[in-house]
Amino acid sequence: MPGFEVIGAEEQAEINDIFARGGVLFRHGFDAMRNGSYKVRDFEAAFATYMGVPHALAVTSGTAALRVALAVLDLQPGDEVITQSFTFVATAEAIIESRAVPVCCEIDGTLNMDPADLERRITPRTRAVIAVHMLGTPARLREIAAVCKRHDVVLIEDAAWGCGGSLDGRALGTWGRMGTFSFDFAKTMTTGEGGMIVFHDRSDYERAAAWHDHGHENNPKVPRWEDTRSGSGFNYRMTELQGAVGLAQLRKLDEVVRRQQYNRDSIWRSIKDLPGIVARDVPAGSVETADALVFETPSADVARELRNRLVAAGLATKILPEAVTWHFAGTWSHMPELVAHHGDLTEAFPATAARLARCVSLPVVVKMDESVPARVRATIAPVLA
């Protein structure tokens, strides 16, 4: 789970460096005051290099990252954007904010987008697909990318949980035309609040950079207050404080992921022989961020019972089952746009509803108490015997 566990002297030093060099907290301009300190710009460059892409744009949140990426596509009312029914509300909210129709599809054993159901839901109005790597496990990107290509629709990855993971050696977030990341306080790397978009295409990057900054083109020939623009936009600019923390967190990302994988595997080793539990499917070639350990149980009743026992034992579950209402579109009757498209949401995604109800997700931390794997086993084994 969290980069917040490893926040320390390095993040503090990056922040101090801003104030030592003049205290400019805005990402643009004030060149004479800032003594070469450009934290957001440096963070974007370092992130792009880490991801192996030419361009990255820092924004205020993972939700903003999705909204800005969709702005690049110039969606029109009635255009449809498909995402998966197991994701955080933010993915659907960004589609709705973009004036497009949110469409959700079923998940498969990866707990991510089911490529076959995705293809069934594509219509002539479909403009884009947002695949999500929920809880740090890659979606079936090979198949999803092939569906998108076949139907000529744009693939965007919501890699809010995928930062530091990969598939076939390609970083999550870089398979699609654009990939978005969240650095909120629960994510593998954090800037408190914050997000990033990565791009392969320079014109996509330029469009996003302008749109997230009221349309500013940052034309070097004129001062900012006389800047050129070719369209309007909004303000989703990251501050230098966030950029500073991001620089330090990015340097720790690989180690955070490595330790999470180790801890996740330790818990799994201690329980995998228990009868009736089945690991989540993982596409071949995946490097997971191991934000959580997710497994299926024989029934929703068993999943609830495991959850109750874990909580009573001072352990915890994460998202499944207790926070499912924030993460399953079948419960989002507060989104009229989603209801207008799908009708009764409780009936709209039966395969996902049944699967999620059977799943239990355990949090994985970077600094795990070594007693946790044995305690998890002792707590859940009596229910599964």
Ligand X SMILES: Cc1ncc(COP(=O)(O)O)c(C=O)c1O
Instruction: Give the footprint of ligand X on this chain (CB under 6 A).
Output: 61-63, 87-88, 90-91, 132, 158, 160-161, 182, 184, 195
274/324 with CB nearer ligand X: 324
Q: Provide the strand spans (E) within the chain.
A: 55-59, 80-84, 101-105, 126-132, 154-158, 166-167, 170-171, 178-182, 195-199, 278-279, 286-287, 292-296, 359-363
Q: Which C-beta is closer to ligand X: that of 135 or that of 271? A: 135
Q: Given the complex with ligand X, which of 222 and 323 has the nearer CB atom?
A: 323
104, amino acid identity: C
Q: Are 165 and 172 in contact (CB under 8 A)?
A: yes
Amino acid at 68: V
Q: How far is the CB of 293 from ligand X (least distance, A)?
A: 17
Q: How far is the CB of 329 from ligand X (least distance, A)?
A: 12
Cα angle 343, 349, 350; round to 5: 120
Q: How far is the CB of 229 from ligand X (least distance, A)?
A: 26
Q: How far is the CB of 183 from ligand X (least distance, A)?
A: 7
Asked, as a colleague might, if the bond just before 220 is cis with ω within 30 of 0, I would say no
Q: Residue 148 Cβ, how far from ligand X at the closest point, in Å?
A: 19
The residue at minimum Cβ distance from ligand X is 62
* Nearer to ligand X among residue 14 and residue 184 (C-beta): 184
CB of 132 to ligand X, least distance (A): 5
Q: How far lies 54's CA from each of 197, 205, 317, in Å?
A: 11, 9, 38
24 vs 338, beta carbon nearer ligand X: 338
The helix (H) or strand (E) run that includes residue 133 is none
Neighbours of 224 (CB within 10 A): 12
Of 238 and 366, CB closest to ligand X: 238
Degrees to nearest 5, angle at CA 253 with 185 and 271: 80
Environment class of 143 (CB within 10 Å of its CB; exposed 0-12, middle 13-18, buried 19+): middle
User: Which tokens sit at 236?
Assistant: 């989703």
Q: Are 211 and 229 in contact (CB under 8 A)?
A: no
Give the nearest distance from C-beta 69 to ligand X in angstroms.
Answer: 11
Smaller CB distance to ligand X: residue 157 or 296? 157
